[in-house]
Amino acid sequence: MSEKLIRLKKLLGEVSDLGRAASVLSWDQQVNMPSMGAEARGQQLATLGKTAQEKFTSDEVGKLIEDIKQEFNGSDPNSDNAAMIRVAARNYDKSRRVPPEFVAEKAIVSSKAFEAWVEAKGKSDFSIFKPHLERMVELAQKYVSFFPPADHPYDTLLDDYEPGMKAEDVKTIFNALRPAQVELIKAISSSKQVKDDFLHKKYNESKLWDFGVSIITKYGYDWDRGRQDIAPHPFETTFSVNDVRITTRFEADNPLVILFSTMHESGHAMYEQGIDPKYERTPLSGGTSLALHESQSRMWENLVGRSLPFWEHFFPALKKTFPSQLEGVSLKSFYKAINKVEPSLIRVNADEATYNLHIMLRLELEIAMIEGKVAIKDLPELWNAKMKEYLGVTPSNDAEGILQDIHWADGYIGYFTTYALGNLVSAQLWERINQDIRDLDDQIRKGKFDALLGWLREKIHQHGHKYDPQDLVQRVTGSKITPEPYVRYLTKKYGEIYGL
């Protein structure tokens, strides 16, 4: 390795350390911190962000990247080092465009916005959050202004989460997807609804927690390299390949949700735990994109965790744990109940058939916000109108409407789209996996997940950020991200459940 590459890796390692220190502070803020601590924490995160950016965007790093690019000219573009330089160069260019003061300001604003969002959601009062969201949108617009004009300003935001993906690509995919999902929902709504009252009985929180733990332990989540805590909004966060944590939450009126939330976050976490340790402290650590990440969480939550074979294995234990709640409930009834399709208000609790419509709504709102075509004060009303239009339901308050998600409070505008793309990728991978592991259903029926996890480790996880998302999906499935496998999956699954 050349002197220059060694020096660059040292500097990038320090940048990575500062970023991961910030992740620890953010995790703590959501899991442990007394609320009075928010202001100082925001300041600390601002300084960490600014310091990391200063380190990364130094002239020295830029010069090293350029020099090493020259050195690598003509060598294998798929080598780890070439990939690292490619990703580092892209990140460097992006970061040089964004002034350190902007990064620091955004950290402070989003820390306060987070606290305001918690309060606003608690009181179901959008007016508490409104000024913070206005600042967030202003900051997003300012961010876009640092970059050369794209086809659409939203492209610049999306590119941070899905490198290479554009608003137009997403619209094309969504336009193909929407009619299929709407048609399916219509067909379901004219069928006999499934019964799920037993899911809404009183369940003991700590027993459910333990059951969730037992599931993801079988999945292969490595507890020696992670832990689970309670937080207002479930998330996964990575402090190193050997410290990948998840959070979950209990909802008294929808108690089993905690199981699926735990499975979901474990999917993210197993991705991070499976990345080749050689990428630690380099720009290749971490998953390749949010959609790829979401494909993993969705797979373990839905394609595995809401499948019949899965519950053939776990239902007897669940029934033993909750004998009175599940008295007289058959496996088949339980399976149908957890897959009940019903247009509803809360995205994270939405079923697979309606979920993507929640995303389409958010995409439209985000695009309108970024274009400045909507006043923030009008958002709750617009939200509610679109919910009515797409899903036929209307939030009765802001907490179950526009305040339900943390993302905008955290400054993530352009992020939601990746959830829907993740669903699509999960099904696309699933078709491939079932060609490679012919008896996968049987394995799941036995509570065995090692072949599945092994496949994901080999094909997806280990590569970290080495490939861009569309390239990786192409390499593994033979085509770029496409909605058809997901439509096939939904149609088959719900066709059987609702007898369509």
Cα(201)–Cα(225) distance, integer angstroms: 34
For residues 46 and 84, which CB has a smaller minimum distance to a copy of itself in the complex?
46
- Contact between 13 and a copy of itself by CB under 8 A: the answer reads yes
| Structure token digits, residue 254 | 């929808």
Return the residues of window 169-228 that contact a copy of itself according to CB under 8 A: 223-227
- Contact between 411 and a copy of itself by CB under 8 A: the answer reads no
Residue of 21, 150, 180, 437 interacting with a copy of itself (CB under 8 A): 21
For residues 49 and 485, which CB has a smaller minimum distance to a copy of itself in the complex?
49
Cα(152)–Cα(167) distance, integer angstroms: 7
Q: Tell me the closest approach of the beta carbon of residue 319 to a copy of itself, in angstroms.
A: 31
- Contact between 99 and a copy of itself by CB under 8 A: the answer reads no
For residues 34 and 148, which CB has a smaller minimum distance to a copy of itself in the complex?
34
- Contact between 243 and a copy of itself by CB under 8 A: the answer reads yes
**Secondary structure letter of residue 300 according to DSSP:** I
For residues 72 and 239, which CB has a smaller minimum distance to a copy of itself in the complex?
239
- Contact between 43 and a copy of itself by CB under 8 A: the answer reads yes
| Edge-to-edge strands, sheet with 228-230 | 228-230, 243-248, 236-240
Please give the size of the binding site for a copy of itself, defined by CB under 8 A: 40
Q: What is the C-alpha radius of gyration for the chain, rounded to an integer number of angstroms?
A: 23
Residue of 9, 12, 20, 336 interacting with a copy of itself (CB under 8 A): 20
Residue of 18, 64, 85, 299 interacting with a copy of itself (CB under 8 A): 18
Which residues, other chains included, contact 286 with Cβ-Cβ below 8 Å and sequence gap of 6+?
A: 238, 272, 275, 464, 465
- Contact between 346 and a copy of itself by CB under 8 A: the answer reads no
For residues 221 and 334, which CB has a smaller minimum distance to a copy of itself in the complex?
221
Cα(230)–Cα(249) distance, integer angstroms: 5
- Contact between 278 and a copy of itself by CB under 8 A: the answer reads no
Known catalytic membership, residue 458: no
Residue of 9, 50, 121, 463 interacting with a copy of itself (CB under 8 A): 50
Residue 302: alpha-carbon gap to chain centroid:
14
Partners of residue 247 on adjacent β-strands: 229
Half-sphere exposure of residue 445: CA atoms within 13 angstroms, side-chain side: 7
Residue of 240, 349, 482, 491 interacting with a copy of itself (CB under 8 A): 240
Residue of 48, 185, 367, 472 interacting with a copy of itself (CB under 8 A): 48
Q: Tell me the closest approach of the beta carbon of residue 342 to a copy of itself, in angstroms.
A: 38
DSSP 153-209: HHHHHHHHHSTT--HHHHHHHHHHHHHHHHHHHHHHHTSPPPP-GGGGS---HHHHH
* Catalytic hit among 265, 272, 352, 366: 265
- Contact between 14 and a copy of itself by CB under 8 A: the answer reads yes
- Contact between 242 and a copy of itself by CB under 8 A: the answer reads yes
328: left (phi over 0), alpha (psi -120 to 50) or beta: left
Intra-chain end-to-end CA distance of the chain, in Å: 61
Say if CB 310 and CB 326 are below 8 A apart: no
- Contact between 55 and a copy of itself by CB under 8 A: the answer reads yes
Say if CB 162 and CB 469 are below 8 A apart: yes
CA angle 434, 436, 442 (to 5 degrees): 55
For residues 39 and 496, which CB has a smaller minimum distance to a copy of itself in the complex?
39
**Secondary structure letter of residue 234 according to DSSP:** -
For residues 21 and 82, which CB has a smaller minimum distance to a copy of itself in the complex?
21
Say if CB 157 and CB 414 are below 8 A apart: yes
Return the residues of window 22-41 that contact a copy of itself according to CB under 8 A: 22, 24-25, 28, 32-37, 39-41
For residues 146 and 223, which CB has a smaller minimum distance to a copy of itself in the complex?
223
For residues 41 and 493, which CB has a smaller minimum distance to a copy of itself in the complex?
41
- Contact between 146 and a copy of itself by CB under 8 A: the answer reads no
Q: Tell me the closest approach of the beta carbon of residue 12 to a copy of itself, in angstroms.
A: 11
DSSP 431-497: HHHHHHSTTHHHHHHTT--HHHHHHHHHHTGGGTTSS-HHHHHHHHHSSSS-SHHHHHHHHHHHHHH
Residue of 4, 5, 7, 17 interacting with a copy of itself (CB under 8 A): 17
- Contact between 281 and a copy of itself by CB under 8 A: the answer reads yes
Cα(307)–Cα(338) distance, integer angstroms: 9
Q: Tell me the closest approach of the beta carbon of residue 448 to a copy of itself, in angstroms.
A: 25
Say if CB 215 and CB 314 are below 8 A apart: yes
Q: Tell me the closest approach of the beta carbon of residue 286 to a copy of itself, in angstroms.
A: 13
Binding site for a copy of itself (CB under 8 A): 13-14, 17-18, 20-22, 24-25, 28, 32-37, 39-41, 43-44, 46-48, 50-51, 55, 223-227, 229, 239-243, 280-281
Which active-site residues does the annotation give? 265
